[in-house]
Structure 1
Amino acid sequence: MTHTDQSKTAIAVVRRNTEEVQSGGDFGLFEELFADDFVDHTPQPGVTADKPGVKILYTKLLEAFPDFNADIKWQSADGNLVTTYKIYHGTHQGEFLGIPATGRTMRFETVDAMRVVDGKIVEHWGVGNLYALVHQLGARLTVQ
């Protein structure tokens, strides 16, 4: 497989995760797309840095925001490492990050890097604008 083919394949896997698992709740596909030895180098608070931890995070997001969806703005790959810039949207219908349901809509940006090997996501690094999210949900945050 050429470097370009590897990149195209990796982008397709990451796109399926974003569109079908994160936005669509297809946890059968989640099991197919994530390697059992997956490592999250930037896990969110309260979840483990492994495959079960990511599944818990995705589940909690969909419970809190039943209409949760991602708008992929761009993706780029260097071999099997895919970087994605996306904006998440949803309506806050359940508790998230300790904030009870507000009924408010939210949107926040993320940048993720995921490594794909043999059609499976094996590593993740990411930065999400969670400050914007909690602010939109009405939480009072202060910088001291």
Structure 2
Amino acid sequence: MSDTQESKAAIAVVRRSIEEVQGRGDFDVFDELFADDFVDHTPQPGITADKPGVRVLYSALRSAFSDFDPDIHWQVADGNLVTTFKIYYGTHAGEFLGIPPTGRRIQFESVDAMRVVDGKIVEHWGVGNLYSLVRQLGGLPDTGQSI
């Protein structure tokens, strides 16, 4: 699936976004890689489903978790659609989802699909394990039991 030039190029764009924008907070790269007509098909509550909304989300994550660091475990592409599994790590140093800073180290998993056209990210679908994250921050009781 990922062997075509189109797939390799799309993976490179998404990887650069994850490493340089999410991981290092380089919003000049964000402006370069995200299309002006970008659409997020799974926006977070209270976040618009467009390029400015994603910028707000990424900024909020970097503010809430001082050393926000994505670790890409795998990526695969079907043409220009790239799916990524990653785990985010960080230290809770700022308010997140109404939870004041705890200083706790966190990690949570995420799976994203991003479509890349002409070197720009134009669409996104994703699922993050925010239940686990909120539990780690003390926002949900840890009963020691599975659901």
In the alignment, residue 39 of structure 2 is paired with which amino acid?
Answer: V
TM-score (norm 1): 0.95
Q: Matches of residues 91-106 of structure 1 in structure 2 within 5 Å?
A: 91-106=91-106
Alignment correspondent of 2:35: 35
Alignment correspondent of 1:120: 120
Provide the C-alpha distance between the structure 1 equivalents of 2:5 and 2:141, rounded to a whole number of angstroms. Answer: 45
Q: Name structure 1 gaps, 5 residues minimum.
A: none
Once the two structures are TM-superposed, the CA of residue 66 in structure 1 deviates from its matched residue by 1.5
SS in structure 2 of the partner of residue 46 of structure 1: coil
In the alignment, residue 73 of structure 2 is paired with which amino acid?
Answer: K
Provide the C-alpha distance between the structure 1 equivalents of 2:35 and 2:7, rounded to a whole number of angstroms. Answer: 18
Provide the C-alpha distance between the structure 2 equivalents of 1:15 and 1:129, rounded to a whole number of angstroms. Answer: 20
SS in structure 1 of the partner of residue 4 of structure 2: helix
- State the aligned residue count: 140
- Distance change >3 Å, CA 47–CA 25, structure 1 → 2: same
TM-score (norm 2): 0.93
In the alignment, residue 7 of structure 1 is paired with which amino acid?
Answer: S
Provide runs of 4+ in structure 1 moved above 3 Å.
Answer: none
SS in structure 1 of the partner of residue 52 of structure 2: helix
Q: Name structure 2 gaps, 5 residues minimum.
A: 143-147
Provide the C-alpha distance between the structure 2 equivalents of 1:23 and 1:66, rounded to a whole number of angstroms. Answer: 11
Once the two structures are TM-superposed, the CA of residue 141 in structure 1 deviates from its matched residue by 5.8
Cα deviation digits, residues 107-135 of structure 1 (max 9, x gap): 00000000000000000000000000000
In the alignment, residue 87 of structure 1 is paired with which amino acid?
Answer: I
Provide the C-alpha distance between the structure 1 equivalents of 2:76 and 2:31, rounded to a whole number of angstroms. Answer: 24
Provide the C-alpha distance between the structure 1 equivalents of 2:123 and 2:17, rounded to a whole number of angstroms. Answer: 13
Alignment correspondent of 1:88: 88
In the alignment, residue 97 of structure 1 is paired with which amino acid?
Answer: L
Alignment correspondent of 1:24: 24
Provide the C-alpha distance between the structure 2 equivalents of 1:119 and 1:97, rounded to a whole number of angstroms. Answer: 33
Alignment correspondent of 1:60: 60
Provide the C-alpha distance between the structure 2 equivalents of 1:141 and 1:102, rounded to a whole number of angstroms. Answer: 15
Q: Give the fraction of aligned pairs with identical amino acids, expressed as a percent.
A: 74
Q: CA RMSD in A?
A: 1.2
In the alignment, residue 91 of structure 2 is paired with which amino acid?
Answer: T
Q: Matches of residues 68-87 of structure 1 in structure 2 within 5 Å?
A: 68-87=68-87
Cα deviation digits, residues 70-109 of structure 1 (max 9, x gap): 0000000000000000000000000011111000010000
